[in-house]
Amino acid sequence: MSTTLAFIGLGHMGGPMAANLAKAGHRVLGFDLVPELVAAAAAAGVEPAASAVSAAAEADVVVTMLPAGRHVLSLYGEQGLLAAARPGTLFVDCSTIDVADARAAHEAVVAAGHRGLDAPVSGGVVGAEAATLTFMAGGGAEEFAAAEPLLGAMGRKVVHCGGPGAGQAAKICNNLILAVSMIGVSEAFVLAESLGLDHQALYDVASTASGQCWALTVNCPVPGPVPTSPANRAYRPGFAAPLMAKDLGLAANALRAGGVDAPLALKAAAMYTAFAEGAGAELDFSAIVRTLRPVEADPNGASA
Ligand code: NAD
């Protein structure tokens, strides 16, 4: 069944996601503040809209893919999206935002007589282009059922995680595990170097022992053991360090709001923030390994 969608935010992720919805036969009215992005989406089958409000007024479903919670809340509220939409419109926010902002957005959606779902993604730009994203959804069963086939046109896996905000919660909990495990794996390789233990030997043991994890076996932070990992291409992302820093900032906000004591997550957030603001600004998050050893001891040879 063809649905009319408004798609707001046609950046690195939103552009290819909107294109995949159009490719699946839906009518997609696209808008971004950057005209060049609207033009690029139009070339991929998206109908250019004059504004976010005009797109939302015509749509059955409004998808947003924006940088942060403040963009979503402002667009929904002061910028008039909720007021312009027809009653009962389904608002699906795919941006990665604070759990508290996702819940506030959901309340605003419902108060305006609409339906809402938070549905952040994992899989990066490659997944957005190939329609292989994983969606983590938060909201009611009826909203999830309505959105599932549309999300399925942009991704490979769609998981209903619970009520409003549960999708964002799943996203930041997963990335907390990833950040802490990446730092742990990196520290182990640096310790191995100081003990004269070969990277490959540590990999051969840990990858089949209890140290096994994604950070080691897929995104290995040192070149060699996993040929496809970013470490083998000068740490070109992959998953860029600033995006990891952003997600850890959201996790830190949620930890503080909930009074949860998680010292490793907070330490990882501080490390990734410093790295993303400095040498890691354009590198994969696995390049954090470089901050753990003195520059002159970096066996990869390159300076960040
Ligand atoms: P991006 O900056 O490339 O795209 C965001 C777009 O939103 C921009 O083009 C911007 O012009 C547009 N925008 C901002 N305010 C707007 C408004 N009021 N109206 C219309 N357009 C507006 O960012 P991205 O990399 O596409 O990421 C989008 C979201 O997805 C973020 O929340 C990010 O954390 C999340 N995410 C990104 C990745 C990734 O690998 N890039 C992976 C998973 C999740």
For residue 102, what are the domain limits? Answer: 4-162
pLDDT of residue 169: 98
By the 8 A CB rule, do 85 and 62 touch? yes
Q: Are residues 40 and 126 in the same domain?
A: yes
Among residues 128, 162, 196, the one where a domain terminates is 162
| One domain, residues 158 and 175 | no
User: How many other C-beta atoms can be found within 10 angstroms of the C-beta atom of residue 167?
Assistant: 29
What is the percent of the chain with per-residue pLDDT over 70, rounded to a whole number?
Answer: 97
Q: What are the tens digits of pLDDT across the range 243-294? A: 999 999 999 999 999 999 999 999 999 999 999 999 999 999 999 999 999 7
Same-domain check for residues 131 and 215: no
Q: Report the pLDDT value the prediction gives residue 296, as an integer from 0 to 100.
A: 54
Atom of ligand 1 nearest to the CA of 239: 40
**Are 21 and 120 in the same domain?**
yes
133-138 vs 121-122, strand pairing mode: antiparallel
Within-domain flag for 158: yes
Report the separation in Å between the CA atom of 221 and the middle of ligand 1, taken as the mean of its atom positions.
Answer: 27
What CATH number is associated with residue 151?
A: 3.40.50.720
pLDDT for res 295: 67
Q: How far is the CA of 123 from the centre of ligand 1 (A)?
A: 14
Residue 23 CB less than 6 A away from ligand 1: no
Best probe residue, ligand 1, of 10, 17, 29, 33 (max atoms within 8 Å of C-beta)? 33
For ligand 1, whether the C-beta of 127 sits within 6 Å is no
- 47 is a domain residue: yes
Task: Say if residue 145 is in the same domain as residue 209.
Answer: no
Please say whether the dihedral angle defined by the alpha carbons of residues 195, 198, 203 and 209, taken in this order, is positive or negative.
negative
Q: What's the pTM value of the predicted model, to 2 decimals?
A: 0.94
Once rounded to an integer, what is the mean pLDDT over residues 55-65? Answer: 98
Same-domain status, 186 and 136: no
- My answer on whether 175 and 126 are in the same domain is no
pLDDT in tens, 127-146: 999 999 999 999 999 999 99
Say whether pLDDT at 303 is over 80: no
The total number of structural domains that make up the chain: 2
Looking at 109, 132, 162, which one is the last position of a domain?
162
Final residue belonging to a domain, choices 114, 129, 162 = 162
Mean pLDDT score of the chain: 96
31 lines ligand 1 (CB under 6 A): yes
Asked whether the predicted pLDDT for residue 87 surpasses 60, the reply is yes
pLDDT in tens, 162-220: 999 999 999 999 999 999 999 999 999 999 999 999 999 999 999 999 999 999 999 99
CATH number of the domain to which 188 belongs: 1.10.1040.10
* 233 and 199 in a common domain: yes
Domain assignment of residue 297, yes or no: no
Q: What is the pLDDT of residue 300?
A: 57
**pLDDT surpasses 70 at 304:** no
Same domain? 274 vs 191? yes
